[in-house]
Amino acid sequence: MAEVVHAAGAVLWRDGPGQGPEFAVIHRPRYDDWSFPKGKVDPGEHVLRAAVREIEEETGIVARLGRRLPTSRYPIGARTKQVDYWAARPVTSSAFAPNDEVDELVWLPAAEAEARLSYRHDIDLLQEFLRGPSRTSPLIILRHASAGEKTAWREADSLRPLDAAGRREAAALAGLLHAYGPLRVISSATARCLETVLPYARLTRASIGTDAAFTVGDTGPEASVERLLSLAGTPALVCTHGEIVSELVSGLCKQLGEKVPDDPGLRKAEFWVAHLTDSSMPALERHSP
124-128, 146-150, 162-166: the lowest-pLDDT one:
146-150
Element containing residue 32 per DSSP (H, E): none
pLDDT number for residue 230 = 96
Q: For residue 95, name the pLDDT band (cuts at 50, 70, 90).
A: confident
User: Over 90: is that where the pLDDT of 220 sits?
Assistant: no
Opening angle at CA 133, ends 127 and 135, nearest 5: 120
DSSP 74-132: EEETTEEEEEEEEEEEEEEE------SS--EEEEEEHHHHHHH---HHHHHHHHHHHHS
pLDDT more than 70, % of the chain? 100
Reported as a single tens digit per residue, the pLDDT across 21-55 is: 999 999 999 999 999 999 999 999 999 999 999 99
pLDDT number for residue 28 = 96
Quick check: pTM over 0.85?
A: yes
Q: How far is CA 195 from CA 165, 167, 202, 212, 286, in A?
A: 12, 8, 11, 17, 21
Mean pLDDT of all residues belonging to the chain: 95
Q: For residue 1, name the pLDDT band (cuts at 50, 70, 90).
A: low
Between CA 203 and CA 207 the distance in angstroms is: 11
- Cβ neighbours of residue 205 closer than 8 Å, sequence gap 6 or more: none
Higher confidence at residue 204 or residue 100? 204
Between CA 63 and CA 52 the distance in angstroms is: 6
Opening angle at CA 270, ends 264 and 272, nearest 5: 50
pLDDT number for residue 92 = 87
